[in-house]
Structure 1
Amino acid sequence: MLQELSIRNFAIIDELSLSLEEGLTVLTGETGAGKSIIIDAVQLLVGGRGSAEFVRHGEKKAEIEGLFILEDDYHPCIQKCQEFGIELEEGMILLKRDISQSGKSACRINGKLVTIAILREVGAALIDVHGQHESQELMDETKHLSLLDQFGYEDIQPTKISYQELFQQYEQVRKQIRSLSENEQQMAHRLDLIQFQLNEIQQAGLELHEDENLMEEKSRLVNFERLFESLQTAYNALQGEQAGLDWLGLSMSNLEHAAEIDASLKEVSESAANSFYLLEEAARSIRNHLDTLEYDPERLQAIEERLNEINQLKRKYGATIEEVVEYGASIEEEIETITNRESSILTLQKKEASIKKDLLLEAQALSETRQQWAQLLTKQIHQQLEALYMDKAIFEVRFHQKPSSVHTEEERVFKKDGADTVEFFISTNPGEPLKPFTKVASGGEISRIMLALKAIFSEHQGITSIIFDEVDTGVSGRVAQAIAEKIHTVSVHSQVLCISHLPQVAAMSDQHLFISKEVVHERTKTYVTSLEERERIHEISRMISGVEITELTLEHARELLELAASIKSTRV
C-alpha cells in the first residue's frame, strides 16, 4: 500500500503530506480544489510524463515522494527491484521524483538514482491509475491473454511452463536449421573463419590458470632485486655471529638450566626451545630459496610474449582461458555440423518435427485450459455487470485461434505464450453486435465495465494501490450505489484511492479526505483534511445538495453512512 505521500511545489500545491490507510480512501472537495492534481503527482511518481508546467510558479523544482509497504514477500515489485539492483529493507520502497524548471527529472528508488523507464516499470507493479477516458490495461487487447492467464493462474501456469520449455527447444532447433540453410558461399566463409579460429586456439596449447601462474612468475622476476635483498636481510638477521638465532640459543640454554632448578619454568623453557628450532628451520628455508634465485632476462621475455599471446586470444574468444577453451570446443562442433551440413539439416528437421508434435499437444492442452477458465471468467463478469445494472450486457472472451479450427500442424502458429490470441468483446445493449472493448463509447458504461473487470482482476494482479479518478462520472441513483459498493469490493484486495463526486462512494470510504484551497498572500494553496464522523456527514450532505445544506440533506447523509456501514459489516 501507499502509506505516505509528500508533494512540494507542484502546480498549486505548496507543501502537502498525506498518511494513507488500507482499504478505500475517497478524496472529495469543490471543483478546482486540487483533487486531480494529487493524482497527477502520484502518476508522475510512478513514471508518468513530466513537464516544467508542473513546477509551482516561482520555485526551482517540484518534489514528489511516496513510501510503499509491501506485505507480500512474493510481490512482483520485489523481483523488479532485484533485477535493477535496488536494495529493499523490511518490504519498504521509497520512490522520489524531482522535476526542475527546465522540465528535466531526477528519479530515485530507495535512494538509488534510476532512469524514468526503470521508475515506470517498478511503478507499474505498485499503482494502477484509472480515469474515465484513459486507455487502461484492461482496455488494451494485447494484455487480455495475460489477464486471462492471471485469472486462472493455478491451472494455466503449470501447462504454460511445460509449453514454454518445449517452445524454447523448438525455436533453438529452427534457428540452427536457418543457420545451416544459408547459401553455400556464406557457409563456406563461416567454415573458413571458424576453422582458422580453432587452429589458432589449438596451436596455442592453452592450460587452465596458465596466465595466473605466469603473472606470479613475472612478478618475481620483475622484482628480483627487492626479493633477493629482503631474503638476504632476513637471513642475516637470523643466522650469523651475534644474530637472532645466537641470542635465542643462548636464551634457550639458560632457560633449560633454570628449569632444572625451578620446575615452574619448564613450560617457558620448552616454548623458547620450540621457537629456536622453528626459526632455525626458517633460516634454512630462506637460504635454500636464496640459492635457487636466479635472474633470467630471457625467461622474462618469454613470459611477456606468452602472456601477450594469451591476452590476444582472450580479446578474441573469451574473458578467461576457460572461456577460450570452451569457445574452441563449441566451434569444433559447429565445424563438424557444417562439414556434414546436409545430414545435419536432416537430423535437425527430424528433431524439429518431433518437438513440433509435442508442442502441438502442449498448445492444445494450454488452449483448452484457457477456454475452461474463459467460461468461468465470462460467468463471473456477467454476475459483476448484473450487480452494476448492466444485466443485458453480453461479455465474451474470443479465441482467434482454437484447437478445433486447426487441422494440420502447418496451420499452427506457435508463439511464446501459446498458439492463442485472446480479446475481450462486449455488447452493452440488446440487439447490438459484440464489439472489442476499445469500441465501447459511453463513459458511464466504460466505468461500470472497468469496475466489473477490476473487481475480479484486482485479486489476481498483485497491484499494491489502485487509483480511480472520477470513474463514477455520468451515473446516478441505484447505479451510483452499485458503483460505490463495487469500488469498495476492489478495496478488499488492494488499497484504493478514489476521487469522487458521488455521496454514495464517499459514504463507503474507510478514510475520507477533504481537499480545499485558499488564497494566502495572493497565492493559492491546497489543503487536505482527514474528516471525522461529524465532518463526513457535513461533506456528504454538501455533495447531496450541491448548494445549501439542510436538515433533510444531513439526515440523508447519516442514512447513507449507516447503509454503507451495514453493507461493509456483511463483507467482513
Structure 2
Amino acid sequence: MLAELSIKNFAIIESLTVSFEKGLTVLTGETGAGKSIIIDAIHLLAGARGSSEFVRYGEKRAELEALFLLDEDQHPVYERCEEFGIDVSDGMIILRRDMSSSGKSICRINGKLVTIAVLREIGQLLVDIHGQHDNQELMNEENHLSLLDQYSGKEVKSALIAYLELYQRYDGLKRKIIQLSENEQEMAHRLDLLQFQLEEIENAELQPKEDELLQEEKHQISNYEKIYDSLNNSYNSLHGEQRGLDWVGLAMSHLENVSHINIKLKELSETISNAFYMIEDLSYEVRNELDSLEFDPERLNYVESRLNEINHLKRKYGQSVEEILTYSAKIEEEIDTIQNKDSHLTKLQKELESVLEDLSVEAKNISAIRRKHAKVLIDEIHQELKELYMEKTSFDVNIDERRTPSHELKYSSNGVDEIEFYISTNPGEPLKPLSKTASGGELSRIMLAMKSIFSQHQGITSIIFDEVDTGVSGRVAQAIAEKIYRVSSGSQVLCITHLPQVAAMADTHLYIAKETKAGRTKTSVKPLNEEEKIKEIGRMIAGVEVTELSKEHAKELLSLAHTAKR
C-alpha cells in the first residue's frame, strides 16, 4: 500500500506530507483546493510524463517522494526490481522524482538512479490510477487479452509456458527458412563474405587462450632486466660466505648441540633444520630459473606481431580467441547450409511442419481455457453491472483467431487469439467494442464493475479513483460507493469524490483545503474526526451553507454506510 507521500514545491503545494492507511481513503474539498494535484504527484511518481509547469512558481525544482509497503512476498514488483538491480528490503519501496524548472527529471527507486521508463515499469505494478476520462487499460482493446489471462490465472499461465517453448522453436525455424529462401544474388554475396571470413580466421591458425599466453610472455620479455636482477640478488643473498644460508646453517648447528636436553629445544632444532633445507631447495630453484632466462629481441618482435594479428581479428569477430573460434564454427555451419540449401530447406520444412502440429494443439488448448474463463467473467461482469443498476446492459468477450491475408493461423507469443470486450448499454442495440460505447456516468459504472473483478487478479498495491463517480446520483451513487468500498477490501483505494455517499463509506477521510498567506496560495491536508466528517459530508450535501438538516442527513448517511460495511 501507499504509506506516505511527500510533496515539495509542486504546483500550488509548498510542502506537504500525507500518511495513508489501508482500506478506503477519500479526499474531499472545494474545487481547486488541490485534490487532483496530489493525484498528479502520484501519477508522476508512477512514471507519467512531467513538465516544468509542475514546479511551483519562483522555485528551482519540485520534489516528490512516496513510500510503498508490500505485504506479499511474491509480489511481481520484487522480480522486476531484481532485474534492474534495485535492492528491496523489509518490503519497502521508495519512489522519488525531482523535476527542475528547466524540465529535467531525476528518478530514484530505493536510492538507485533509474530512467523514467524503469520508474514507469515499477510504478505501474504498485499503483493504478483511474480518472474520469482516463480509463487506461480497460478501455484499450490491446490490453484485453492480458486482462483475460490474468483473470484465468494459473491454468492459462502453465498452458502458455508449454506453448511458448514450442513457439520459440517455430519462430526460429521460420526465420531460418526465410533466410535460406532469399534471392540467389543475396545468398551468393553472403556466401562470399562468410568464406572470406572463415579463410581469414583459419589462416591465422589460432590456438585456445593463445592471446592470454602471448600477453603473459610479452610482459615477461619486456621485464627481462628487472626479473634477472631480482633473481640474481635473491640467489646471492642466500648463497655464499656470510650469506643467508650460512647464518641459518650456523643457527641449526647450535640448536642441534642442545636438542637432546629437552623436548622444546628438540622441536626448535627440527623446525630450523626443516627451514634450512627448504630455503636451500628454493635457492636451487631460483638458480635454475636464473639459468633458464633468455632475452630474445626477435621473439619479442614475433609476440608483438602475433598479438597485433589476433587483435585485428578480435575487432572483427569477437572479444577473445575463444569467441573468434566459436564464430568460425558458426559460419562454417552456415556455409555448409548455404552450399546445400535445397537439402537443408527440405529438412527445415519437415521440422517446421512437425513443430506446427504440436503448436496448433497447444494454441487450441489455450483458446479453450480462455473461452471457458471468459464465460465465467461475462457472468461476473453482468452481476457487477446489475448491482450498479445496469441490469439491462449486455457484456461479451469477443474471441477471434488471428489470421494472415492468406487465411492461415497467425501465431504469436501469446497464442492465436484476438480478444476484445464488447458491450451494449441499451436493449435491442447490438454489442459494440467497449472503447466505442457508453459515456459519462455509464462509462464510470462499467469501468468500476470491471475494476471490481480485475483488481483481485492484478496484484496492484494501490488503486486511485479520480472523480470516477461524476455524472451519477441517487441510488446509483450509493451503489458506486459500496462498489468502491468492496474494491478496497482487496487493495488500498484512494478516491477523490464529490459524492457524499462515497465519502460516508470511507475508512479514512482527508480534507484538502487551500489558503492564502503572504500573497501565496498553499494547500493543506487534514484527517477528519467523526464530528468533522459529519460537517464535511453535510457541506457536500447542502453546498456552501451547512444546516442542521444537512448534518442530520450526513449522520444518516454515515449510519447507512456502517450498516453496509457490516
428-437 or 541-550: which moved more? 541-550
Change (3 A) 1:268 1:99: same
178-187 or 262-271: which moved more? 262-271
> 1:187 Cα deviation (Å)?
0.9
Matched, 1:31 2:63: no
Q: Which residue of 2 aligns with 1:101?
A: 101
Please tell me the residue identity of whatever aligns with 2:312: Q
Q: Which residue of 2 aligns with 1:115?
A: 115
Q: Which residue of 1 aligns with 2:506?
A: 509
> 1:38 Cα deviation (Å)?
0.6
What are the Cα deviations for residues 89-127 of structure 1, in whole angstroms up to 9, with x where unaligned?
A: 223221111121222222222222222222222212121
Change (3 A) 1:89 1:242: same
Separation in 1, partners of 2:405, 2:309: 56
Q: Which residue of 2 aligns with 1:429?
A: 426
Separation in 2, partners of 1:408, 1:513: 56
Q: Which residue of 2 aligns with 1:551?
A: 548
Q: Which residue of 1 aligns with 2:521?
A: 524
Please tell me the residue identity of whatever aligns with 1:237: S
Please tell me the residue identity of whatever aligns with 1:504: Q
What are the Cα deviations for residues 167-189 of structure 1, in whole angstroms up to 9, with x where unaligned?
A: 11111111111111111111111
Q: Which residue of 2 aligns with 1:400?
A: 400
> 1:84 Cα deviation (Å)?
2.4
Q: Which residue of 1 aligns with 2:350?
A: 350
> 1:401 Cα deviation (Å)?
2.2
556-565 or 265-274: which moved more? 556-565
Correspondences of 1:127-138 after superposition (within 5 Å)? 127-138=127-138
Q: Which residue of 2 aligns with 1:486?
A: 483
Separation in 2, partners of 1:213, 1:158: 49
Matched, 1:386 2:386: yes
Please tell me the residue identity of whatever aligns with 1:538: K
> 1:226 Cα deviation (Å)?
0.5
> 1:539 Cα deviation (Å)?
1.6
What are the Cα deviations for residues 28-63 of structure 1, in whole angstroms up to 9, with x where unaligned?
A: 111111101111111111121212221111111111
Please tell me the residue identity of whatever aligns with 2:89: E
Separation in 1, partners of 2:523, 2:421: 41
Separation in 2, partners of 1:251, 1:349: 84
Instruction: Tell me the SS of whatever aligns to 1:170.
Output: helix
TM-align CA RMSD:
1.8
Q: Which residue of 2 aligns with 1:454?
A: 451
Separation in 1, partners of 2:406, 2:10: 58
> 1:257 Cα deviation (Å)?
1.3
Matched, 1:286 2:286: yes
Separation in 2, partners of 1:410, 1:175: 20
> 1:562 Cα deviation (Å)?
2.8
What are the Cα deviations for residues 411-448 of structure 1, in whole angstroms up to 9, with x where unaligned?
A: 21212211110000101111222111111242101111
448-457 or 98-107: which moved more? 98-107
Please tell me the residue identity of whatever aligns with 1:103: G
Q: Which residue of 2 aligns with 1:373?
A: 373
Separation in 2, partners of 1:183, 1:440: 49
Matched, 1:476 2:473: yes
Instruction: Tell me the SS of whatever aligns to 2:305.
Output: helix
Instruction: Tell me the SS of whatever aligns to 1:125.
Output: helix
Instruction: Tell me the SS of whatever aligns to 2:417.
Output: coil
Question: Which of 469, 476, 492 pairs up with 1:495?
Answer: 492
Instruction: Tell me the SS of whatever aligns to 1:471.
Output: coil
What are the Cα deviations for residues 201-246 of structure 1, in whole angstroms up to 9, with x where unaligned?
A: 2232222222112211111111010111111111111111111111
Unaligned runs of 5+ in 1: none
Separation in 1, partners of 2:383, 2:263: 98
TM-score by length of 2: 0.97
Separation in 2, partners of 1:167, 1:410: 19
> 1:372 Cα deviation (Å)?
0.6
Correspondences of 1:177-188 after superposition (within 5 Å)? 177-188=177-188
The answer to whether the 8 Å contact 1:360/1:409 transfers is no
Separation in 2, partners of 1:441, 1:366: 31
Separation in 1, partners of 2:424, 2:29: 35
Separation in 2, partners of 1:537, 1:235: 97
The answer to whether the 8 Å contact 2:498/2:540 transfers is yes
Please tell me the residue identity of whatever aligns with 1:271: T
Separation in 2, partners of 1:449, 1:272: 92
Please tell me the residue identity of whatever aligns with 1:366: I
Matched, 1:536 2:533: yes
The answer to whether the 8 Å contact 2:12/2:522 transfers is yes
Q: Which residue of 2 aligns with 1:411?
A: 408
Please tell me the residue identity of whatever aligns with 1:446: L
Q: Which residue of 2 aligns with 1:273?
A: 273
Instruction: Tell me the SS of whatever aligns to 1:102.
Output: coil
> 1:408 Cα deviation (Å)?
13
Please tell me the residue identity of whatever aligns with 2:551: L
Q: Which residue of 2 aligns with 1:566?
A: 563
Instruction: Tell me the SS of whatever aligns to 1:77.
Output: helix
Q: Which residue of 2 aligns with 1:198?
A: 198
Separation in 2, partners of 1:192, 1:77: 49
Please tell me the residue identity of whatever aligns with 2:484: I
Q: Percent identity?
A: 60
The answer to whether the 8 Å contact 2:404/2:410 transfers is no
> 1:135 Cα deviation (Å)?
4.2
Separation in 2, partners of 1:564, 1:557: 10
Please tell me the residue identity of whatever aligns with 1:423: E
Instruction: Tell me the SS of whatever aligns to 1:220.
Output: helix
Aligned length: 566
Instruction: Tell me the SS of whatever aligns to 1:463.
Output: coil
Q: Which residue of 1 aligns with 2:44?
A: 44
Instruction: Tell me the SS of whatever aligns to 1:260.
Output: coil
Please tell me the residue identity of whatever aligns with 1:509: A
Separation in 2, partners of 1:311, 1:149: 51
Instruction: Tell me the SS of whatever aligns to 1:423.
Output: strand
Change (3 A) 1:440 1:239: same
Q: Which residue of 2 aligns with 1:162?
A: 162
Please tell me the residue identity of whatever aligns with 1:543: M
> 1:147 Cα deviation (Å)?
0.4
Change (3 A) 1:179 1:271: same
> 1:537 Cα deviation (Å)?
2.0
Unaligned runs of 5+ in 2: none
Q: Which residue of 2 aligns with 1:64?
A: 64
Separation in 2, partners of 1:370, 1:193: 48
Separation in 2, partners of 1:182, 1:548: 79
Separation in 2, partners of 1:52, 1:409: 51
Separation in 2, partners of 1:233, 1:330: 52
Separation in 1, partners of 2:75, 2:333: 43
The answer to whether the 8 Å contact 2:455/2:487 transfers is yes
Instruction: Tell me the SS of whatever aligns to 2:260.
Output: helix
What are the Cα deviations for residues 132-181 of structure 1, in whole angstroms up to 9, with x where unaligned?
A: 11141110000000100110021111112222211111111111111111
What are the Cα deviations for residues 320-372 of structure 1, in whole angstroms up to 9, with x where unaligned?
A: 22221111111111111111111111111122222222222221111111111
Please tell me the residue identity of whatever aligns with 2:51: S
